[in-house]
Structure formats: structure tokens, C-alpha cells
């Protein structure tokens, strides 16, 4: 094998890149990993304190993601500020169909959890402090050239570009991945013609640990239980889908007017909307890459697939993909094969393909079916939601999708645990 400066370079230290680095430090501790992150964000620069913020963005973590974080030894810390989802309520505004999922009926304490992205980032950084992962931040991966036995990666730091060689480059630079374009990966993009407005809201009634998914004629919305215990269950994280025109109009409203508009769209299941925090918004596009690997390079996280956020699947899917990749790296490294070898990366792609295709289809069809207001589709929606409620088999299928668990399990091995089981989608 050719001699390289490091074994693996990860471009992007966001949720996906940092989780991959941590998982590798657990499963293949002697693999040399360097993370390059364009923000001045590194394990050495984490604040000591964490105050849950009313205005921070959060992520719904599926039950399967909790299991992965347990495997990584991260869950105990993360759970300090994770709000459990004990019930999921799916409904259609103005229609009679609705379905409910309860953790209890699946014999679990929760169907999933809601955690602030900032808190997840902080937990990851604190865990990474005690590992051998090298961190270069701020620094930007600007290009990559294939070389014999690996890749030569161009990194820009303080306006100087220098090169670092590795067996493999993992691109984890997010949904608007500049590197994906620079390296010429073919993407498929489908704009939904909608935006996600994100904000934390307060309500007069407690959420009682319920996540609401509500489909309206103007687009889907989700309200996830959120916030510290001191808020006594009165805070939820809102994902509200709006057309460009509606978004502009909603943003121009005062906060009490926004609450009234929200009330009209969502209804009274949480009582009165009393407060809305800082609003952030994102244009919604489904981005997928059919061939996310080539010799020496793999795309992961949002760089590989960016989904509509209302079904809360993007990061959960990314996590399962990361664990599949880690396992392929572990096996290759143990047998003396280069981790950038095309056969290693292709195997990862094959093992992950069915999961991402099914998850993309699940969240995309949810948006399309519930975004269609033609009469037959409305009737089918009513029948579908009622049917889900009445048919235990259909409901279990829906629950498995929501919980990020499935039938097929792949065994992954790491030092200290002879066989670890990783949940994978069917
Ligand atoms: C509104 C919204 C709500 C969501 N809600 C959910 C949810 O409830 N559940 C769920 O599972 N998923 C959810 N998602 C998806 C989830 O947020 C993403 O899957 C996750 O954040 C992806 O992380 P990432 O690390 O791939 O990308 P990012 O978080 O974008 O991180 C990319 C990192 O790369 C760095 N970077 C960029 N370019 C370079 C470069 N050239 N060199 C070095 N570093 C670089 C950036 O600074 C950044 O830190 C949501 C997404 C959105 C938009």
C-alpha cells in the first residue's frame, strides 16, 4: 500500500462528518483520521456550558439512531437534553383520517427523541477530545486529485493552499456540497417549490411528548416535543412548509400574527400558540446522487442525499449509512486493503442503497400524496390514515419507518465488542 500523510480525510465536521470520525475512532482506533472543517469549530474549542436555547435548530432522532449513539458511547451524555417522543399523531387538516403511534404499544420508552443540533454537536466534540482524530479548523477542502494508492487533497487555510495525501476522502460538506460539484458527481435535484420555516413555539397546553405531523392543503407541518423540563412541556419545535409567496407573507407578520396564522393551520391540539421564537427558513429540494462513490472518494450525509425535513429522516438515514461505511473501512483495514479501494466503497454503496432508496421514497411519497388535493387522492388519504390506525400490520410498518428500525440487521464488529448489531432498514 502507498504511504500517505493520513489514512482518511473527512471534508466537513458537521453532524455527519463528526459522527463518522467518532465511530471510526471507536471501531478502528489505529486508522489515522483528519477532519477538515471550514468553520472555526473543533473539539479543542468547545464551550464548557450548554444552555438549551429557545432559538436553536433541532433534529428528530429515530429510535434506531439512539441505538447507534449507544454503540458509540454518546447516548448517555446526549440524553441529558433529549426530549422523548412517546406518541406520534398524523392528521390531515379538514379531513377525518388520523393515525396515532404509541411507544408503549411497541414496548419501548420512546419512539424517538428531539435534540438541539448545537447540543448534539457539543456532545460529539466532547467525545472526540479523547480520541486520536486530527482536526483542522478553520480549513476548507478545495479540490482532490487521484494519485497511486489514494488521493491528494488540497486544503485552504489562511488563504494558503497545501496538500495532504490519504487513502480516501469522505465528502461530508452538507446539502449544498461545493465539493460534490467540483469533483463532478452527478446529482438529481427536484425542487419541491416549498420552504421549511423552522422555529420553536410555546403553547398553552403541554405537548405530552407527542410529535404532530399535520398535512394541510398548503403543505405539511410538524410540531415536535422540545425544550427543557422547566418549560413543563409547553415548547415544541415547528417545521412549517410554505410556498415562496406564503413564506414571504408569514415572515412579514408580527409574532402574535404568526401565532394566529399557525393556529389556523394547525388547530387546537396544543391549545393556544402563545409565542414564536426566531424563524429560520430553508428552500426544500430533494437531492440524491445515484453513484456516491468512486475510487478514493465517498459522499455521505446531506452531500449524498438531502430530504424534505418534515418526515425527520435525513440525519437518521445518514447515520445508518455512516455505520455501514465504518464497517467496510474496518474490514478493509483489518485485511490490509486500502480503505479507498473502489471495491470497498462500492460494497458500502450496495449495502446502503436499498435503505436510502426506500427512505427517500417514503418521505417523498408522504409529501406528494399529502400535497395532492384531488378528490380521489383525498379519499385515499382518509382511507390510508384510518387504515393505518386500524390495521396493526400497516401501522407497524409505518412505525418502523418513523423509528428508523427495520427487519434486516447487519453485524458489525469493533474492538471490545465481539459482535455489535446495527439496525438497518429492510
Ligand atoms: C430544516 C431542516 C430540518 C431537519 N430536521 C431533521 C430531523 O428532524 N431529523 C433528521 O433526521 N434530519 C433532519 N434534517 C436533516 C439534517 O439536518 C441533516 O441530515 C444533517 O444536518 C446533515 O448533516 P451534514 O453533516 O451532512 O451536513 P451539514 O450539517 O450541512 O454539515 C456540513 C459541514 O461541512 C462544512 N463544510 C462545508 N464545505 C466544506 C469544505 N469545502 N471543507 C470543509 N468543510 C466544509 C460546513 O461548515 C458544515 O459544518 C433537517 C434538515 C433541515 C434543513
Does residue 410 register a pLDDT over 60? no
**Residue 307, pLDDT score:** 86
- The mean pLDDT value for 361-378 works out to 63
Does residue 390 register a pLDDT over 50? no
How many whole angstroms from 367 Cα to the centroid of ligand 1? 21
pLDDT one-digit tens code per residue, 13-48: 999 999 999 999 999 999 999 999 999 888 887 777
pLDDT one-digit tens code per residue, 246-277: 999 999 999 999 999 999 999 999 999 999 99
pLDDT one-digit tens code per residue, 313-326: 899 999 999 999 99
How many whole angstroms from 120 Cα to the centroid of ligand 1? 12
How many whole angstroms from 24 Cα to the centroid of ligand 1? 19
pLDDT greater at residue 47 or residue 304: 304
**Residue 418, pLDDT score:** 34
- The mean pLDDT value for 327-331 works out to 98
In which band, very low, low, confident or very high, does the pLDDT at 393 lie, cut at 50, 70 and 90? low
Does residue 399 register a pLDDT over 70? no
Give the cell for residue 399: 412505525
- The mean pLDDT value for 337-341 works out to 97
How much of the chain exceeds pLDDT 90, in percent? 60
**CA atoms 379, 355, 21, 78: torsion sign:** positive
Judged by average pLDDT, the poorest of 5-19, 213-227, 244-258 is 213-227
* Beta carbon of 171 within 6 Å of any ligand 1 atom: no
In which band, very low, low, confident or very high, does the pLDDT at 394 lie, cut at 50, 70 and 90? low
Number of the ligand 1 atom closest to the C-alpha atom of 317: 11
Residue nearest to atom 45 of ligand 1 (CA): 12
Judged by average pLDDT, the poorest of 168-172, 215-219, 302-306 is 215-219
Does residue 379 register a pLDDT over 60? no
pLDDT greater at residue 222 or residue 420: 222
* Beta carbon of 39 within 6 Å of any ligand 1 atom: yes
* Beta carbon of 222 within 6 Å of any ligand 1 atom: no
- The mean pLDDT value for 105-126 works out to 91
**Residue 398, pLDDT score:** 59
**Residue 422, pLDDT score:** 37
Is 117 in contact with 56 (CB distance < 8 Å)?
yes
CATH fold for domain 8-189+285-423: FAD/NAD(P)-binding domain (3.50.50)
DSSP state of 310: G
In which band, very low, low, confident or very high, does the pLDDT at 228 lie, cut at 50, 70 and 90? low
Number of the ligand 1 atom closest to the C-alpha atom of 39: 47
**Residue 223, pLDDT score:** 92
- Report how far residue 28's alpha carbon sits from residue 333's, in angstroms, rounded to the nearest whole number: 8
* Beta carbon of 137 within 6 Å of any ligand 1 atom: no
* Beta carbon of 12 within 6 Å of any ligand 1 atom: yes
Beta strands 210-216; 188-203: pairing state: unpaired
Question: Best mutation site among 177, 287, 301 for ligand 1, i.e. most ligand atoms within 8 A of its Cβ?
Answer: 301
Q: Which long-range contacts (CB under 8 A, 24 or more apart) does 403-410 make?
A: 403/62, 403/63, 403/64, 403/106, 403/111, 403/112, 404/62, 404/63, 404/64, 404/65, 404/112, 404/313, 404/316, 404/317, 404/320, 405/62, 405/63, 405/64, 405/67, 406/64, 406/355, 410/324, 410/327, 410/351
**Residue 171, pLDDT score:** 98
* Beta carbon of 173 within 6 Å of any ligand 1 atom: yes
Question: What length is written for the chain?
Answer: 426
Q: Is 49 exposed, middle or buried (0-12, 13-18, 19+ CB in 10 A)?
A: exposed
**Residue 385, pLDDT score:** 47
Cβ contacts of 419 within 8 Å, gap of 6 or more = 411, 412, 413
- The mean pLDDT value for 50-65 works out to 81
**Residue 232, pLDDT score:** 64
In which band, very low, low, confident or very high, does the pLDDT at 218 lie, cut at 50, 70 and 90? confident
- The mean pLDDT value for 383-404 works out to 56
Convert 126-144 to b/e letters by CB count within 10 Å (16 or more is b): ebbeeeebebbbebbbeeb
- Report how far residue 426's alpha carbon sits from residue 420's, in angstroms, rounded to the nearest whole number: 18
Number of the ligand 1 atom closest to the C-alpha atom of 302: 26
**Residue 23, pLDDT score:** 98
Does residue 400 register a pLDDT over 90? no
- The mean pLDDT value for 298-312 works out to 87
Question: Best mutation site among 162, 173, 278, 401 for ligand 1, i.e. most ligand atoms within 8 A of its Cβ?
Answer: 173
Helix (H, G, I), strand (E, B) or coil at 224: strand
- The mean pLDDT value for 188-213 works out to 91
DSSP state of 259: H
* Beta carbon of 198 within 6 Å of any ligand 1 atom: yes
- The mean pLDDT value for 289-313 works out to 90
Number of the ligand 1 atom closest to the C-alpha atom of 155: 42
* Beta carbon of 371 within 6 Å of any ligand 1 atom: no
Average pLDDT of the chain to the nearest whole number: 85
Amino acid at each position: 500500500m502507498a504511504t500517505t500523510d493520513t489514512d482518511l480525510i473527512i471534508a466537513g465536521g458537521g453532524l455527519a462528518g463528526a459522527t463518522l470520525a467518532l465511530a471510526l475512532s471507536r471501531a478502528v482506533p489505529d486508522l489515522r483520521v483528519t477532519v477538515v472543517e471550514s468553520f472555526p469549530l473543533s473539539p479543542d474549542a468547545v464551550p464548557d456550558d450548554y444552555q438549551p436555547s429557545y432559538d436553536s435548530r433541532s433534529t428528530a432522532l429515530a429510535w434506531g439512531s439512539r441505538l447507534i449513539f449507544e454503540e458509540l458511547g454518546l447516548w448517555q451524555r446526549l440524553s441529558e437534553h433529549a426530549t422523548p417522543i412517546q406518541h406520534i399523531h398524523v392528521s390531515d387538516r379538514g379531513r377525518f383520517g388520523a393515525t396515532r403511534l404509541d411507544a408503549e404499544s411497541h414496548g419501548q420508552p420512546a419512539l424517538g427523541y428531539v435534540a438541539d443540533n448545537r447540543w448534539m454537536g457539543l456532545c460529539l466534540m466532547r467525545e472526540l477530545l479523547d480520541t486520536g482524530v486530527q482536526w483542522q479548523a478553520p480549513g476548507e477542502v478545495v479540490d482532490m486529485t487521484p494519485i497511486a494508492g489514494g488521493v491528494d487533497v488540497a486544503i485552504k487555510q489562511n488563504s494558503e493552499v497545501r496538500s495532504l495525501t490519504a487513502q480516501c476522502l469522505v465528502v461530508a460538506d452538507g446539502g449544498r456540497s461545493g465539493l460534490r460539484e467540483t469533483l463532478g458527481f452527478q446529482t438529481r435535484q427536484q425542487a419541491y417549490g416549498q420552504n421549511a420555516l423552522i422555529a420553536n413555539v410555546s403553547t398553552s397546553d403541554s405537548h405530552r411528548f407527542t410529535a404532530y405531523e399535520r398535512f394541510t392543503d398548503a403543505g405539511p407541518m410538524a410540531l415536535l416535543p422540545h425544550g427543557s423540563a422547566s418549560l413543563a412541556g409547553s415548547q415544541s419545535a415547528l417545521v412549517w412548509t410554505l410556498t415562496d409567496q406564503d413564506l414571504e407573507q408569514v415572515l412579514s407578520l408580527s409574532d402574535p400574527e404568526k401565532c394566529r396564522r399557525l393556529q389556523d393551520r394547525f388547530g387546537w391540539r396544543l391549545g393556544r400558540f402563545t409565542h414564536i421564537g426566531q424563524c429560520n427558513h430553508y428552500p426544500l429540494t430533494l437531492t440524491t446522487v445515484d453513484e456516491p462513490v468512486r475510487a478514493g472518494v465517498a459522499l455521505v450525509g446531506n452531500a449524498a442525499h438531502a430530504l424534505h425535513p418534515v418526515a425527520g429522516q435525513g440525519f437518521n438515514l445518514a447515520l445508518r449509512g455512516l455505520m455501514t461505511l465504518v464497517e467496510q473501512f474496518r474490514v478493509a483495514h483489518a485485511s490490509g486493503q486500502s480503505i479507498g479501494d473502489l471495491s470497498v466503497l462500492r460494497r458500502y454503496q450496495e449495502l446502503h442503497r436499498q435503505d436510502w432508496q426506500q427512505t427517500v421514497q417514503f418521505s417523498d411519497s408522504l409529501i406528494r400524496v399529502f400535497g395532492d388535493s384531488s378528490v380521489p387522492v383525498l379519499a385515499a388519504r382518509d382511507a390510508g390514515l384510518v387504515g393505518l390506525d386500524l390495521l396493526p400490520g400497516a401501522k407497524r410498518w409505518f412505525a418502523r419507518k418513523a423509528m428508523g428500525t427495520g427487519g434486516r440487521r447487519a453485524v458489525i464488529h469493533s474492538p471490545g465488542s465481539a459482535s455489535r448489531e446495527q439496525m438497518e432498514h429492510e
